[in-house]
Amino acid sequence: EEETRLFGFSQYIIEGRAEDLQQIPNSIILGIGLAKRLQVHIGDMVNITTPAGDRYRLKVIGIYQSGVNEYDKVQSYATIKTTQKILGKANNYITDIAIKTRDIRTAPAIA
């Protein structure tokens, strides 16, 4: 929820609502290119396969278009809780940290 606000993710949602990720368990928002390739729409179910071969079904609750086709073809978004469940990780496990700076020139020092 905080990440959605901080990075303005909601402005890229072309179908559905980013807030629904928090409300609907086992849900996912797909990039428009990925949704087209999979031929899925809001309300459809998609199967996620982990590197270990485990499968999980998630409900498509949104489609986003970032304007960067390479990302839109491969990226999707789920909550941390859903991602931890899929990966079989503890609730303190995170997959990445995103930092937003006011001045891009400070990024190397922060990294």
Which pLDDT does position 111 carry in this prediction? 67
Question: What are the CB-based long-range contacts (under 8 Å, 24+) for 35-43?
Answer: 35/60, 35/63, 37/73, 41/15, 42/15, 42/16
Please list the alpha-helical segments (H only) found in 32-93: 32-38, 69-72, 80-87
Q: Is the pLDDT of residue 4 over 70?
A: no
pLDDT for the residue 43: 97
Residues 15-48 have pLDDT tens digits of 999 889 999 999 999 999 999 999 999 999 999 9
User: Where along the chain do its domains lie?
Assistant: 2-110
What span, in angstroms and rounded, lies between the C-alpha atoms of 10 and 4?
6
- Specify the pTM: 0.79
The 10s digit of each residue's pLDDT in 45-96 is 999 998 889 999 999 999 999 989 999 999 999 988 998 998 888 888 876 7
Q: Is the pLDDT of residue 3 over 60?
A: no
